[in-house]
Amino acid sequence: MIRLTHGMVLAAGLGTRMRPLTETVPKPLLTLRGRSLLDHALDRLDEAGVGDVVVNAFHLAPQVVAACAARTAPRTTVLVEDELLETGGGIRNALPHLGGEPFAPPFAVVNGDAYWLDGPTPALARLAAAFDADQMDALLLLVRAATVDGDVGLGDFLLDPLGRVRRPKEREVAPYTYTGVQIIHPRLLDGTQPGRFGLMRAWMRAIEAGRLYGLVHDGVWFHLSTPPDLQRAEEVLDKGLVKLF
């Protein structure tokens, strides 16, 4: 169990599958239920007691900077990337702002397009309660792929009885999809170099070491990849077709 004090929202992506909406608006600033996806993510972090958040930006970065400046909480630092660093490179670049080095605490990372409804206990609180810094390099919030309204392919991960994660083998169907919400220990990025790289590289190393874990979400998660996904989510929420705790 840990207490979350720092977090990051990944908001630098190009959002290519959400075009044409993202030609003029960065994906995290698209709205759902009257608020931007970025605001929803920052709200969740604030509610979880996270006081300091880093937001990275690249595509249409001035809009992200302005959106963060308009908020009063949590305290937000925007890092505008000169080149798109991808997920791993973006988080590595933010490490000096996530609690200080070399003893930075574990921190939350939320994708800028992640939108979920909590179960009886908020998802970030469940992750923090389940996080074991001695055993885990990262703890991913997963959802059962069969419950997702949208195309998630063959799924992302499998879990063993202890909650350790592995990737599917060739042609193997994985029952769990990654939600874009996780807690990371800074050592997950040990040995990486500055620059552009995906987080999967670090995840795979953690899997090999038996240090990547998953927690299954007990609420509702929305797959927001394309404009129809966003429209369906709005309709479902407007009509009250999901249970709110």
Could you read off the pLDDT of 21-41 as tens digits, one per residue? Answer: 999 999 999 999 999 999 999
Domain membership flag for residue 1: no
Nearest to 116 by CA among 222, 22, 192, 202: 222
Domain membership flag for residue 130: yes
**pLDDT (average), residues 30-56:** 96
pLDDT at 190: 92
Residue 78 corresponds to which tokens in the numbers above? 């925007």
**pLDDT (average), residues 105-134:** 95
Domain membership flag for residue 24: yes
Would the pLDDT of 153 be above 90? no
pLDDT at 134: 93
Domain membership flag for residue 204: yes
Check if the beta carbon of residue 86 is closer than 8 Å to that of residue 65: no
pLDDT at 53: 97
Give kind and range of the element (H or E) at residue 206. helix 200-208
**Residue 94, domain CATH:** 3.90.550.10
Q: Would you call 176 exposed, middle or buried from its count of C-beta atoms within 10 A (0-12, 13-18, 19+)?
A: buried
Quote the domain boundaries for residue 196.
6-238
% of the chain with per-residue pLDDT over 90: 83
C-alpha 11/C-alpha 7 separation (Å) is 13
Q: Cα–Cα distances in Å, from 114 out to 102, 205, 207, 235?
A: 29, 24, 23, 17
C-alpha 124/C-alpha 142 separation (Å) is 12
The string of pLDDT tens digits covering residues 196-219 is 999 999 999 999 999 999 999 999
Please tell me the pTM assigned to this model: 0.93
pLDDT at 150: 65
Domain membership flag for residue 156: yes
Query: If pLDDT is split at 50, 70 and 90, which confidence band does 242 have?
Result: low
C-alpha 67/C-alpha 55 separation (Å) is 11
C-alpha 193/C-alpha 190 separation (Å) is 9
Domain membership flag for residue 244: no
Domain membership flag for residue 245: no
Q: Which amino acid is at 142?
A: L
Domain membership flag for residue 108: yes
Radius of gyration of the chain (CA): 17
Check if the beta carbon of residue 52 is closer than 8 Å to that of residue 163: no
Would the pLDDT of 5 be above 50? yes
In the chain, how many domains are there?
Answer: 1
C-alpha 132/C-alpha 205 separation (Å) is 18
Residue 240: other Cβ atoms inside 10 A: 8
